[in-house]
């Protein structure tokens, strides 16, 4: 791989948001786990959070599949709603694994805004 190829891959890793996504995901999972263990929230919150992330991942997968085949796409606002609803960890994984919606600055800014907004709402709810 030439120098230009290496630089492009290095920029991709730096721009992937891993420096934010990994700690935020761990903190989010820990907060949900704490809320369930201390009985502030019911047990089903953990599988529900996982399920929403999984559904967000599949929404991205479906959109990429549609894009490759020239079919009707999933609106970006729908993908953002999945993230806002708590599917942001699955959406971030989909962006990295599927390489979909991972290089559009405007989309990524809105994605991270939904992730932070969701986490802030969870934090507020736990602090009450």
Sign of the Cα pseudo-torsion (112, 116, 119, 121, in order): negative
Question: What region, left, alpha or beta, does residue 100 occupy, with left being phi > 0 and alpha being psi -120 to 50 degrees?
Answer: beta
Q: What is the pLDDT of residues 68-123, one digit of tens each?
A: 999 999 999 999 999 999 999 999 999 988 988 888 889 999 999 999 999 999 99
* pLDDT per position as a tens digit, 18-54: 777 788 889 999 999 999 999 999 999 999 999 999 9
């Amino acid at each position: 791989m030439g120098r230009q190829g290496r630089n492009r891959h290095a920029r991709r890793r730096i721009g992937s948001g891993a420096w934010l996504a990994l700690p935020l995901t761990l903190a989010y999972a820990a907060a949900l786990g704490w809320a369930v263990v201390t009985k502030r929230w019911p047990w089903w919150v953990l599988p529900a959070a996982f399920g929403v992330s999984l559904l967000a991942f599949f929404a991205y997968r479906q959109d990429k599949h549609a894009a490759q085949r020239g079919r009707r796409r999933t609106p970006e606002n729908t993908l953002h709603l999945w993230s806002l609803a708590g599917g942001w960890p699955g959406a971030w994984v989909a962006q990295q694994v599927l390489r979909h919606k991972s290089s559009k600055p405007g989309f990524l800014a809105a994605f991270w805004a939904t992730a932070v907004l969701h986490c802030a709402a969870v934090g507020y709810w736990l602090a009450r």
